[in-house]
Amino acid sequence: MNIRNSKNRIISDVIIFSSLILVFIITSCKDQDEVFITPPTPGGCDTTNITFSSTVQQIVSTKCNCHGVSAPNFAVYNNLKAAVNNGKLLLYIQPGQHVSYALDTCEVKQITAWINKGAPNN
């Protein structure tokens, strides 16, 4: 009888512990669905005169520097170009990917236009 009670107690403890972990995970992710979209800049959206130095670098310098010292610095061309080459940049700039610093629609269009032009270092 003692062994059976001991096994039941262990199972009960595991269930309680697992439930607490599950509750913690669910509550810690509750705000992940929020998307903060910055309003577009007035005056329309220029997607024809896009350069790395005057457009893309300024966007990533102000909105893509939240990853700490271990992440690549996307204000440096070679680091950003690597993210273009592996397809991650197009994923990164989609709404909701980086909740705190969401790009506005124009900025997404500008970066996409720059990528479609071959992501030149200009």
* Mean pLDDT (10-residue bins), the chain, 122 residues: 75 80 63 52 82 91 67 82 89 70 83 94 92
pLDDT the model gives residue 65: 62
User: Is 74 a member of any domain?
Assistant: yes
User: Is 95 a member of any domain?
Assistant: yes
First to last CA, the chain: 78
pLDDT the model gives residue 100: 45
Looking at the fold, whether 15 and 56 belong to one and the same domain comes out as no
pLDDT the model gives residue 33: 47
Structural domain of 20: 1-30
pLDDT the model gives residue 79: 87
Looking at the fold, whether 58 and 103 belong to one and the same domain comes out as yes
User: Count of domains in the chain?
Assistant: 2
User: Is 45 a member of any domain?
Assistant: no
Radius of gyration of the chain (CA): 23
User: Is 47 a member of any domain?
Assistant: no
pLDDT the model gives residue 26: 66
pLDDT the model gives residue 81: 92
| 101 closest CA partner among 51, 67, 53, 57 | 67
Instruction: Please give the Cα distance from 76 to 84 (Å, whole number).
Output: 13
pLDDT the model gives residue 68: 57
User: Is 58 a member of any domain?
Assistant: yes
Looking at the fold, whether 25 and 57 belong to one and the same domain comes out as no
pLDDT the model gives residue 118: 94
Looking at the fold, whether 56 and 93 belong to one and the same domain comes out as yes
